[in-house]
């Protein structure tokens, strides 16, 4: 009968151990790769998720009236100091004496409110949230910058304290360089981007998500992803001609040029743009 030598048996034992260790290492490496991939995928999804943000304000002390408030001006940065909105003008809506601003859409995450100023119909500053370290910081519960978070699938609200600027004060007493800002005239138009869906019942053109770029006299004014709804696009007014470029992966890009008067005709009725494969 054939017999194995001791050396051969020892060689096989060592080889089996090496193979088991190698297999275990491969399993661990694959397991870690899956965890890292899932973590990165989760981070990517979270970055794409957005939430709605609006502002209200509380008055610190005895203010005569808030009824003159028409707009607010805000500056928002991320936690790394990158400015997201610089002196953004938002309209205020009065609900029985309680003011709420129009909404902003922001990716989920943490932010800093750097400026908060309230203006009347004549664009005169009437209230302001003082900044940390300024002369009047002690008059409010928290001076700027104020940190806040934006969460998905909900309307997030920031409600800073404000004080009146109707005093013999310098803007630096509130921590600001100036309360003046340029009012940018803007125009809004509705747009609905569609693709043909043969699987719809019945087969038909359906609204779809797309990338929209708007150029005014050759200058880029808007570049955002628009969801599958009839959406309102707001751009700076003043250009003679506007080029609207719509794109979507897997479909031909379409460009449309409209005059200033033509684009304003779509303020209440949507501009329908159909993309073909």
**Given pLDDT bands bounded at 50, 70 and 90, which one contains residue 22?**
low
At residue 257, the pLDDT reads: 97
Same fold, 51-174 and 186-275: yes
* pTM for this prediction: 0.53
Q: Are 214 and 222 in contact (CB under 8 A)?
A: yes
CATH architecture designation of domain 186-275: Sandwich (2.60)
CATH 2.60.40.3540 describes domain 51-174: yes
The 10s digit of each residue's pLDDT in 204-246 is: 999 999 999 999 999 998 999 988 989 889 888 889 999 999 9
**Given pLDDT bands bounded at 50, 70 and 90, which one contains residue 5?**
low
**Mean per-residue pLDDT, 73-98:** 87
The CA distances from residue 256 to 133, 186, 225, 238, 239, in Å, are: 51, 20, 17, 18, 15
Residue that wins the pLDDT comparison between 131 and 178: 131
How many other C-beta atoms are found inside a 10 Å radius of the C-beta of residue 248?
A: 18
Residue 244 tokens read as: 């609207």
**Given pLDDT bands bounded at 50, 70 and 90, which one contains residue 276?**
very high
**Mean per-residue pLDDT, 85-106:** 85
Q: Domains of the chain: which residue ranges? A: 51-174, 186-275
């Amino acid at each position: 009968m054939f017999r194995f030598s001791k050396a051969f048996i020892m060689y096989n034992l060592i080889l089996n151990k090496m193979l088991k260790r190698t297999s275990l290492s491969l399993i661990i490496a694959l397991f870690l790769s899956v965890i890292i991939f899932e973590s990165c995928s989760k981070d990517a999804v979270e970055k794409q998720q957005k939430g709605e943000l609006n502002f209200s304000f509380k008055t610190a002390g005895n203010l005569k009236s808030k009824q003159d408030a028409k707009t607010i001006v805000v500056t928002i940065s991320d936690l790394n100091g990158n400015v997201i909105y610089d002196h953004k003008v938002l309209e205020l809506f009065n609900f029985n004496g309680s003011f709420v601003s129009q909404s902003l859409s922001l990716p989920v995450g943490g932010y800093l409110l750097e400026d908060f100023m309230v203006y009347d119909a004549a664009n005169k500053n009437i209230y302001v949230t003082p900044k940390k370290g300024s002369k009047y910081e002690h008059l409010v519960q928290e001076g700027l910058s104020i940190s806040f978070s934006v969460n998905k699938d909900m309307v997030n609200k920031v409600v800073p304290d404000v004080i009146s600027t109707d005093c013999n004060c310098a803007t630096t007493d509130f921590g600001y360089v100036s309360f003046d800002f340029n009012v940018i005239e803007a125009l809004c138009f509705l747009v609905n981007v569609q693709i043909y869906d043969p699987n719809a019942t019945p087969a038909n053109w359906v609204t779809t998500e797309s990338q929209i770029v708007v150029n005014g006299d050759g200058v880029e004014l808007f570049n955002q992803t628009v969801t599958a709804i009839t959406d309102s696009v707001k751009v700076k007014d003043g250009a003679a001609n506007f080029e609207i470029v719509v794109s979507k992966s897997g479909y031909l890009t379409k460009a449309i040029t409209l005059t200033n008067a033509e684009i304003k005709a779509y303020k209440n009725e949507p501009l329908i743009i159909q993309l073909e494969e």
